[in-house]
Each structure stands twice: as structure tokens, then as C-alpha cells.
Amino acid sequence: MTRTPVNVTVTGAAGQIGYALLFRIASGQLLGADVPVKLRLLEIPQGMKAAEGTAMELDDCAFPLLKGIDIFDDPNAGFEGANVALLVGARPRTKGMERGDLLSANGGIFKPQGKAINDHAADDIKVLVVGNPANTNALIAQAAAPDVPAERFTAMTRLDHNRAISQLAAKTGADVTDIKRLTIWGNHSATQYPDIFHAEIAGKNAAEVVNDELWLADTFIPTVAKRGAAIIEARGASSAASAANAAIDHVHTWVNGTAAGDWTSMGIPSDGSYGVPEGIISSFPVTTKDGKYEIVQGLDINEFSRARIDASVAELVEERDAVRELGLI
Ligand code: NAD
Ligand code: LMR
């Protein structure tokens, strides 16, 4: 049976993450090796020519699953019929820019894109926001799309999740595949909290295996939380291939499910679980099945974790209040 292609819209398609992402989507790694895709690339007018170049390269790969590529600079057209939307393009912070300026500049991108998704995307649309500040950009887009179920808007903390697994594996000598049930809580920012108290390494409690609270507080957490800045310092540009990889992982897991006994981390609209105020887009431990996710419930949160979750959530509440004041939500 021939399957109908899935429409995948990627914004910021001509950027560095876009370049690392599009070929993997077209090769079947986003949705599955048997799922044909049509790509819809959304750029701003200045990015159109470079996006056309990337589209030429995609053609030149003759990917069996790629059933079409269209390029747009109009969000209404770009999101027409989209089943999956990866919102990568964002306004980066530039010198002298205050946080309010950054939120306001991104509001100018994510509010119209949310509205375009509301008005033009397919009924089963799933949205992943990668562009920073990812959680609050997702909130802005979600608020502009009242006809789309709020839970379809998610923000990326999978890169943080993968970074934490890698750091934990290096510390303990375990294989990354032995590490399960790690959680990123809160914001995709330096306040995020990578939690190993419920994580397992080859079936044993990770915090007990590590047994080193000093390493946890002074090395592990800051290394994971500040990894983005360390990459910028080393590369002279923000993470791109690892960010694209995490975007692939996020959507693949959302669509295809978490493995039995494991969970992942996603920035999602809070339902009030774990004392996180309802509505803000915060990272939680989630399981996924049949294209839906659920927050893992009933985890015991110790004092060490509580203080750190609360600090990151407080930052998200501040960001929400700031965009509310700016009239963006
Ligand atoms: P980049 O500057 O290389 O590319 C961004 C692209 O977006 C550019 O081509 C630009 O023309 C385009 N763009 C800007 N406004 C747009 C709009 N309104 N519609 C469509 N396209 C638009 O940046 P990059 O390295 O690809 O990073 C993209 C974003 O991802 C940044 O905000 C970065 O901070 C963020 N990021 C997030 C994570 C995460 O873990 N959540 C990780 C890495 C990077
Ligand atoms: C990352 O985590 O690598 C990025 O979010 C860093 C950034 O500021 O773009």
C-alpha cells in the first residue's frame, strides 16, 4: 500500500540547524524508514536563495522517501497542511539586546507562526519549537493557536537530555544505552535541572551508583546546563548537528513511542503536575505512545531536586509574565 506523504514544515531551513536536519528528515530518520515525507521550507526573504540551494542538494540525494520540496517566505503558505512543524528559525540575541527586546523580537516571529499553524496546519499537527528561548517561544505560538490542542506545542529539551546521558555515561563508565529514566526539568536555559535521582544505570539507581553529591552539584549539573555556551565558545557558533539530532529524537519518540521502562524529556504545557504552574511550557519526564505523551507521575522529589526545579520554573514564570506584559500571549 502506498502511504500518503507526511507534510513536514521546517522554519529557519537555510540556517545551520536546518542544514543538519533536512537531510535526516528526508532519509526517513524523523518519522520512520517507511514513511514518505514532503518538505515545506519556511524562510525569511533573505534566506530564500540559500534554502533553494539546500533544496537542490536534497534533490541530488534522490532520497526514496522524499516526495516533494516547497520553499516559502509566507508562514500561511509554509504551514498549509503541515502534520509536523519544526520551528527552528528565531531571532538570536545580539550585542546590547535586553531580554525584553529578545522576547519581543521573537514574539514577532512566533505569534504569526502560531496563528498560521492555527489557520492552515493539518488537524493532527505536532509542533516542536527549537528556536530560543524555546520554551517561551512555544508558549507564544501556542497562545496564538487557540483551535489547536495546547499539548501539540512542545519545546526542545532533548538536547539537554542527551547531553546529560552522555556526561553520566562518561562519569560512570557505563554505555549510553544502559542509562534510562533521566529527566530534564524546567527551562532550556542555564537554570534547567538534569535529575539523576530516578535515573537508572544498567538497572541500578544512578544517584547511588555515582554516590557523589559534590560532583552532581558542582560538575554534572553546570556542565549540562552550560553546554550550549561551551559549544558556542569552542565552535564560534551554537550547536547545530547535535541540536538537529535532538530534534529528530524528540519527534521520533513522540510519534513512535518510548521504550518499555524508559522515559524522555520534553518541554510541554504544564498540567500542574509536580507543582509547576499550569500552562507554562516546562520540561517534564514523559512517556509516549501512539503519538501522545503523558507526564510520568508519582516521582518522589527530594529537597535537592525541589529547589532546582523551582528555580527553573520561576524563570519560566518570569518569561511568561514578560511576554504577557508585551501583549504576546
Ligand atoms: P541560524 O542563524 O544558523 O539559522 C536561523 C535561520 O532562521 C536563518 O536562516 C534565518 O534566516 C531563519 N529565520 C529567521 N527568522 C525567521 C522566520 N521568521 N521564519 C523563518 N525563518 C526564519 O541559527 P541556528 O544555529 O540554525 O539556530 C536556530 C535556533 O535554534 C536559534 O534560536 C538557536 O539558539 C536555537 N537552538 C536551540 C537549541 C535547543 O536545544 N532548544 C539548541 C541549539 C540551538
Ligand atoms: C544549546 O543549548 O546548544 C543552544 O540553545 C545554545 C544557544 O544559545 O543557542
Decide which of 120, 155, 190 is a domain's last residue.
155
CATH number at residue 274: 3.90.110.10
Residues with CB under 6 A from ligand 2: 132, 159, 228, 231, 238-239, 243
> Would you state the pLDDT for residue 1?
58
Residues 250 and 110 in one domain: no
Q: Which residues are catalytic?
A: 188
Give the range of the structural domain holding residue 300, as residue numbers without chain letter: 157-322
The answer to whether 280 and 270 have CB atoms below 8 angstroms apart is yes
Q: Is residue 1 in some structural domain?
A: no
Each residue's pLDDT tens digit, 70-79 = 999 999 999 9
Each residue's pLDDT tens digit, 310-324 = 999 999 999 999 999
**How would you label 121-153 residue by residue, b for 16+ Cβ within 10 Å and e otherwise?**
bbeebbbbbbbbbbbbbbbbbbbbbeebeeebb
Q: Which residues contact 124 (CB under 8 A, 6 or more apart)?
A: 83, 291
Paired with 69 in beta bridges are: 39
Looking at ligand 1, which residue's alpha carbon is closest to its atom 27?
17
Residues 285 and 221 in one domain: yes
Which of 68, 65, 71, 39 has its CA nearest to residue 53? Answer: 71
Rounded to an integer, what distance in angstroms lies between the CA atom of residue 324 and that of residue 123?
A: 27
Does 96 appear as a known binding residue? no
The average pLDDT across 200-213 equals 97
Output phi, psi for 281, to 5 deg. -95, 105
Residues 13 and 133 in one domain: yes
CATH number at residue 36: 3.40.50.720
Residue 293 reports pLDDT greater than 70: yes
**Which atom of ligand 1 is nearest the CA belonging to 134?**
41
Q: How far is the CA of 13 from the centre of ligand 2 (A)?
A: 17
Q: Classify 90 as helix, strand or coil.
A: coil
**Which atom of ligand 1 is nearest the CA belonging to 159?**
40
Each residue's pLDDT tens digit, 125-139 = 999 999 999 999 999
> Would you state the pLDDT for residue 280?
98
Residues 124 and 174 in one domain: no
Please give the residue that has the higher pLDDT: either 161 or 99: 161
Does 320 appear as a known binding residue? no
Q: Is 159 in the pocket of ligand 1 (CB under 6 A)?
A: yes
Q: Is residue 311 in some structural domain?
A: yes
Count how many domains the chain has: 2
> Would you state the pLDDT for residue 94?
78
> Would you state the pLDDT for residue 299?
98
**Mean pLDDT over the full length of the chain:** 97
Residue 95 reports pLDDT greater than 90: no
Residues 118 and 60 in one domain: yes
Q: Is 238 in the pocket of ligand 1 (CB under 6 A)?
A: yes
Residues 289 and 248 in one domain: yes
The average pLDDT across 86-99 equals 86
Decide which of 138, 155, 172 is a domain's last residue.
155
Residue 183 reports pLDDT greater than 90: yes
Q: How many CB atoms lie within 10 A of CB 60?
A: 8
Each residue's pLDDT tens digit, 12-56 = 999 999 999 999 999 999 999 999 999 999 999 999 999 999 999
> Would you state the pLDDT for residue 121?
98
